[in-house]
Structure 1
């Protein structure tokens, strides 16, 4: 080929065109996923049902991973779609198949996972606890104590690697792995005595400890792990990876991440669900200030004022400015979505909050199946106020499948805790829920109601530890002593 200036210029232009096209294509691929998310207006997030990740509470989504994912969706200016799955295998499969954009599921960063996944910045460092049930087992304080024990862990997790490392020093160590379990399944097996020990992340231990007071940490094993969000390792995800990194820098710098961690994973040993002494004290200190408002709203909505007072105490301790870790606020602790539905524009206004809560309670009452007797309807409505009507209906389905009567509160109350067990909540429509909290919530309100009733009937006598059901109106009598 003759070497002339015109030929060289032609070749140079051709080479630059190829480079430009390649560079443009590479940049386009790198930003495709983020652009698509913004174009669709939806961020799809794979997660797992659980106390540390995602669940529904009071009819609204909750959980640490949900709160963080919602903040990221807001940061991008798009809506959030949470996609709950069961087990880590489904999380990784979903990412590989492109059914979601990211996975926010309490995933620890491991070299094996980094071969196919890209992790965002770590948001939490966790330890791996070997735990046991002190009521059923001898203390476990070292790996040697695990020999001969029934041990089960989640498959495809770093916990398996911990046991493999321990087995090098203790060859007789054995265990079982379950790939279709969730942490709550292991906790339930440990509580029932089906296994002697298991391994869970420290974050999961503290988030669930209040529900399993007999569980103890034997020892911590393996190296601390870092949790992070994961996305599939493809060229088209570079823009999304950077957006995640930018977001975590923002929430770290402004303290939002630290506040979320404190709310969800800090355990208070002295936390209790019901304190009669505190109730009696606040009944004297706070109730007189709000009693007039409670009585007025009760008249407006044809309710017993003592019931409305008991609900508002359970929700906020009669604190008009109360706020929960999940963002519900006010005297009746309404979610923002519920407040909008009820036309409550200021959740911190006690009258608006009381009226909104009363309307919501009456609405739940009206939506209950007609087969539920009037004597039980209040308890079902209160449970729905706490975890949502959908979860209550799931519990009724489970109750019927167990041979119980789905229209009797006592039968359903006994099955509500099953909503924490994967084998029971997996087939349901609404999934995981803290059903035991709902049962306790209703019982607390009944106790507060009985104390208020006793105070009305006999102001000058100290209430006994337990108030007889005879002091309650007829509609509150059924099943009281059985709770």
Structure 2
């Protein structure tokens, strides 16, 4: 009896232990989203990207780029800070995500469900593979015309997936792949005759075509792929759910379309022949005056490339330019303006550039304090063209129409109304060819964008000549994908 009683507490203990063993795994199992909880605990998210024009780069006012903008907004969505790092290749990004050394990969990644160790988000942007080829070659309009050509693609970009699909139809198809090159490198090699063609994405060609006028688009190849973000599969589903929720919200609010348009939507912003001429002048004329623009920028606080864009709009960087109305010089100063800024020889490039920069600054300083950047610069440029009085009139019209006189978008819509009697009779300075400053500012902004692109891409353009120490001239740039015969 005593033995039986002694065993009873032991049985209860065994039962209690069994219950604990059943409950503890449930209570102590890792949470469904340990990575998301970790991000919120440390108060920042680690994002890995690549330094390219379509993802992330340093602009005039700091970091910018399509995927940087998305990453910044996503960090705000989570209520944490953004820690952004860059690496060289897409495979580096995916490897870091798979290993869990970063929280999120955002680097023009093609959605590829076959990859292990990572979860991809919902599609963000459509990626349409596009064949491009060297101008002057027989047109490359069909897949069969790729046979026998020297073709290249960026490894792991997804563009090669379209080539692999095509190879099923044409087993003799062969091409080169490299993880160490960028789109600009491929386009440069096509122009230089080192390649016949390449497969990139349509939006990449749209962004780069003005800088490589020797490259033409051929035809779209295969079905569109999807740009997506990647998160570690080992981190649970919480972060992935938040990423997808964020993308859905952006799309529903129309903000995603707005960002796509902002970064990839202005393919037609320079008429193509004019763009080719501008790029030629950038290389042939601008170097002679670049130091003068930089010195004028140092004195006035403007970006030298903005002053150069203004000079190109005025004279195409021709120091002897003269208009029928008597405006003269590289910055096309009127005689009264030249006298106002102390320029005694308008045909002297140094005086003209310095005088034009100081005049633009004086106009900018006379604008109302309520006008903030970048609108303040755009309005100063408009006034450089049409006169400060007419700009004030356009501001007044904008206000009469219920707009904001300190917002460039509203003033831009009001300026052409200075050509209509019903409006110019209501303002102080009367008639003006108000449509001209709108085009004027638009052109300068777009020349400025091109100069910014060229400036930040110089090393990228010459990457082929910057091999790592120890690499010989014959070091392979590409891996060859052979025919399947």
What TM-score, normalized by structure 1, do the two folds share?
0.58
**Aligned residues of 2:33 and 2:236 also touching (Cα < 8 A):** yes
Cα deviations by residue, 1:391-428 (Å, 9 ceiling, x for unpaired): 98xx9xxxxxxxxxxxxxxxxxxxx733445457898x
- Distance in 2, Cα, partners of 1:233 & 1:311: 54
Task: Return closer, same or farther for 1:276/1:185 CA change in 2, 3 Å cut-off.
Answer: closer
Q: CA deviation at 1:225?
A: 0.5
Q: How many residues align?
A: 331
- Distance in 1, Cα, partners of 2:362 & 2:164: 51
Aligned with 1:145: secondary structure? helix
In structure 1, the partner of 2:258 is 259
Q: CA deviation at 1:331?
A: 2.5
- Distance in 2, Cα, partners of 1:206 & 1:244: 27
Aligned with 2:186: secondary structure? helix
Task: Return closer, same or farther for 1:250/1:322 CA change in 2, 3 Å cut-off.
Answer: farther
Matched, 1:54 2:56: yes
Q: CA deviation at 1:237?
A: 3.2
Unaligned ranges ≥5, structure 1: 296-302, 334-347, 351-382, 396-415, 428-483
- Distance in 2, Cα, partners of 1:186 & 1:199: 9
**Aligned residues of 1:50 and 1:184 also touching (Cα < 8 A):** no
In structure 1, the partner of 2:65 is 63
Matched, 1:128 2:178: no
**Aligned residues of 1:418 and 1:424 also touching (Cα < 8 A):** no
In structure 2, the partner of 1:78 is 80
Q: CA deviation at 1:256?
A: 1.4
Q: CA deviation at 1:310?
A: 5.5
In structure 2, the partner of 1:108 is 110
- Distance in 2, Cα, partners of 1:162 & 1:15: 57
Matched, 1:246 2:242: no
Matched, 1:307 2:357: yes
Matched, 1:331 2:376: yes
**Aligned residues of 1:320 and 1:330 also touching (Cα < 8 A):** no
**Aligned residues of 1:127 and 1:220 also touching (Cα < 8 A):** yes
- Distance in 1, Cα, partners of 2:371 & 2:209: 24
Aligned pairs (5 A) from 1:412-451: 417-423=458-464
In structure 2, the partner of 1:92 is 94
- Distance in 1, Cα, partners of 2:193 & 2:217: 16
- Distance in 2, Cα, partners of 1:56 & 1:201: 23
Matched, 1:204 2:232: no
- Distance in 2, Cα, partners of 1:251 & 1:140: 38
- Distance in 2, Cα, partners of 1:425 & 1:34: 40
Q: CA deviation at 1:278?
A: 11
**Aligned residues of 1:46 and 1:85 also touching (Cα < 8 A):** yes
Task: Return closer, same or farther for 1:244/1:20 CA change in 2, 3 Å cut-off.
Answer: farther
**Aligned residues of 2:113 and 2:120 also touching (Cα < 8 A):** no
Cα deviations by residue, 1:173-221 (Å, 9 ceiling, x for unpaired): 2211112222222122122221011111122122222222332221111
Aligned with 1:188: secondary structure? helix
**Aligned residues of 2:98 and 2:233 also touching (Cα < 8 A):** no
Task: Return closer, same or farther for 1:199/1:11 CA change in 2, 3 Å cut-off.
Answer: farther
**Aligned residues of 1:419 and 1:425 also touching (Cα < 8 A):** no
Q: CA deviation at 1:276?
A: 3.7
Task: Return closer, same or farther for 1:82/1:421 CA change in 2, 3 Å cut-off.
Answer: farther
Unaligned ranges ≥5, structure 2: 279-308, 317-322, 328-332, 342-352, 379-405, 409-447, 469-485
In structure 1, the partner of 2:145 is 145
**Aligned residues of 1:129 and 1:221 also touching (Cα < 8 A):** yes
Task: Return closer, same or farther for 1:188/1:109 CA change in 2, 3 Å cut-off.
Answer: same
**Aligned residues of 1:126 and 1:203 also touching (Cα < 8 A):** yes
The alignment yields a C-alpha RMSD, in angstroms, of 4.3
Segment drifting more, 171-180 vs 100-109:
171-180
Aligned with 2:236: secondary structure? helix
Q: CA deviation at 1:226?
A: 1.0
In structure 2, the partner of 1:117 is 118
In structure 1, the partner of 2:188 is 188
**Aligned residues of 1:119 and 1:228 also touching (Cα < 8 A):** yes
In structure 2, the partner of 1:23 is 26
Aligned with 1:153: secondary structure? strand
**Aligned residues of 2:187 and 2:215 also touching (Cα < 8 A):** no
